[in-house]
C-alpha cells in the first residue's frame, strides 16, 4: 500500500493571524513546496463567502490520533467564515467500516460526544474496528439509539457518503493522513509543511488568501 503516514506534534491552539499578517505569511509559503495546488479545483460545500477546510483522517492512524486534540481545539477557534469538515479516508477495503461509523455518528449528531471516543477505542482499548461486526459491537456499548444506529449504518445514504469520501480523497490526491484540503484548491500535509503544526499555519494563510473579498481586493491592486 503506497501511502505515507505523517508524524505530527501535539501543540497548543493556534492563534489566528491578522489579515495583513496572513497575507505576509502566505507569501512565505510556496506551492509545490509547503502545499500543493490542485490541477482541477474541487467543488466545496461551503456557502457563498465561506472557505472550506477538510481534514482527511483515519481512526486507526496513530498520527491522526495524536493530532486530533490539536485539530479539535483549532476548529473551535476558526472564524465564522470558515467551514470545517472531516472526511475519513479509505486506502483499503477494511477502512470502510470506520468510514461507515463516522458518517453514522455524523447523521445522528453524535460526533461531538463520540468522535474522540472512537479514537480511544482504537488506540487505548486496542479495538481494531475494521469490520462491521466489531463496529456494531462497539456501538452496542455506547449511549445511543442502537436500532437507529444500525439502520443508518446500513443505509443507502451512508453508502453514498462513502463513495463521495473516496472521490474527494482522489480529487485531492491524498497520499497519507492527517492531511488538509483548503478551499477546494489546495492540499497540505505534515510532509510538505514540515509538521502538522506548520500545516495548520499554512492552512491559515491559504484561508486568508482564499477569502473572496480579500482575493478581489488583491486582484484590484494588481490591476491598478
Radius of gyration of the chain (CA): 18
> Please, which contacts does 104-111 make with residues 24 or more away whose CB atoms are closer than 8 Å?
104/149, 104/152, 104/153, 104/158, 107/152, 107/157, 107/158, 108/144, 108/145, 108/148, 108/149, 108/152, 110/144, 111/86
pLDDT over threshold 60, residue 172: yes
Q: Count CA atoms closer than 13 A to 22's CA, side-chain side.
A: 17
Q: 47 falls in which pLDDT band (50, 70, 90)? A: confident
Q: What is the DSSP letter of 179?
A: E
Query: 88 near 54, Cβ under 8 Å?
Result: no
Q: Per-residue pLDDT averaged across 126-152, rounded?
A: 97
Asked if the model's pLDDT at residue 139 lies above 70, the reply is yes
pLDDT-based confidence at residue 164 (cuts at 50, 70, 90): very high
How high does pLDDT run on average in the chain? 88
Distance between CA atoms of 115 and 69, rounded to whole angstroms? Answer: 11
Query: Would you call 150 helix, strand, or coil by DSSP?
Result: helix
- Can you give the pTM of this predicted structure? 0.86
Peptide bond into 43 cis (omega under 30): no
The predicted model gives 99-109 an average pLDDT of 98
Amino acid at each position: 500500500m503506497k501511502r505515507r503516514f505523517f508524524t505530527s506534534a501535539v501543540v497548543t491552539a493556534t492563534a489566528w493571524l491578522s489579515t495583513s499578517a496572513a497575507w505576509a505569511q502566505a507569501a512565505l509559503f510556496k506551492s509545490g513546496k509547503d502545499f500543493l495546488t490542485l490541477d482541477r479545483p474541487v467543488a466545496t460545500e461551503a456557502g457563498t463567502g465561506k472557505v472550506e477546510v477538510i481534514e482527511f483522517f483515519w481512526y486507526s492512524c496513530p498520527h491522526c490520533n495524536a493530532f486530533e486534540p490539536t485539530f479539535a481545539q483549532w476548529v473551535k477557534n476558526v472564524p465564522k467564515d470558515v467551514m470545517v469538515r472531516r472526511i475519513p479516508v479509505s486506502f483499503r477495503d477494511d477502512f470502510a467500516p470506520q468510514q461507515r461509523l463516522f458518517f453514522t455518528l455524523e447523521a445522528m449528531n453524535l460526533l461531538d460526544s463520540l468522535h474522540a471516543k472512537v479514537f480511544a477505542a482504537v488506540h487505548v482499548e486496542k479495538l481494531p474496528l475494521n469490520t462491521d461486526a466489531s463496529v456494531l459491537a462497539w456501538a452496542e456499548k455506547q449511549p445511543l439509539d442502537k436500532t437507529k444506529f444500525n439502520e443508518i449504518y446500513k443505509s443507502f445514504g451512508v453508502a453514498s457518503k462513502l463513495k463521495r469520501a473516496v472521490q474527494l480523497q482522489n480529487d485531492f490526491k491524498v497520499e497519507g493522513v492527517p492531511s488538509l484540503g483548503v478551499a477546494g484548491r489546495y492540499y497540505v500535509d505534515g510532509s510538505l509543511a514540515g509538521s502538522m503544526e506548520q500545516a495548520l499555519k499554512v492552512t491559515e494563510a491559504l484561508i486568508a488568501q482564499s477569502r473572496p473579498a480579500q482575493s478581489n481586493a488583491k486582484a484590484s491592486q494588481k490591476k491598478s
